[in-house]
Amino acid sequence: MNYPNASNNFQQEHAMRLFSSFKHLLARDLIKNYKNDYDIARQLFHAPFALVSHNTDSDPIFNYANLKALEIFELSWEEFTQTPSRLSAEPINQAERDRLLALVTNNGYIDHYSGVRISKTGKRFRIKKAIVWNIIADNVYTGQAACFEEWAFI
């Protein structure tokens, strides 16, 4: 799968917001050995780890998923970017998810988060050692992002 909307500046700009916010808050790069903004966007989309983000709506909607996340959640780009992020957790796990997001809002980021999520087809999976952070652009809060390398279907 190619990088979606590669000609759309939003995708490249959003990837840069994810990348720069991560670097600012965690003092390290999300990826290494990049050449330019487009290369960062392309590498993030094809990364071996899952990367997602949502916007600041009162019921936040996902606005980004890389290829690995789309595979795990079993959604297309179009489906994913129309999904409220709360639906990534089963109703029983949504209170824990809300607590996590409030903690990130207050602290800027958390790392080593673990939790259970659900795919489109109902497959449950546990994510481990996830990093969740606030996305900041021009000193304005624009949402939250998460990445994780470890997951297992349960």
Q: What's the pLDDT tens digit per position in 106-116?
A: 899 999 899 99
Q: What's the pLDDT tens digit per position in 65-113?
A: 999 999 999 999 999 999 999 999 888 887 887 888 889 988 999 998 9
- Please check the confidence at residue 14 and state whether its pLDDT lies above 80: yes
The answer to whether the CB of 49 falls within 8 A of the CB of 64 is no
Residue from 126, 119, 146 nearest 135 by CA: 146
pLDDT higher for 94 or 3?
94
Measured between alpha carbons, how far is 6 from 120 in angstroms, rounded to an integer?
25
Supply the pTM of this predicted model: 0.92
Q: What pLDDT, on a 0 to 100 scale, did the predictor assign at position 91? A: 83
pLDDT bracket for residue 2 (50, 70, 90): low
Q: What pLDDT, on a 0 to 100 scale, did the predictor assign at position 109? A: 96
Measured between alpha carbons, how far is 49 from 44 in angstroms, rounded to an integer?
9
Angle at 15 between CA 26 and CA 146, to 5 degrees: 50
Task: Identify the structural domains of the chain with CATH numbers, from first to last.
Answer: 9-153 (3.30.450.20)
Half-sphere exposure of 137 toward its Cβ, with a 13 Å CA cutoff? Answer: 14
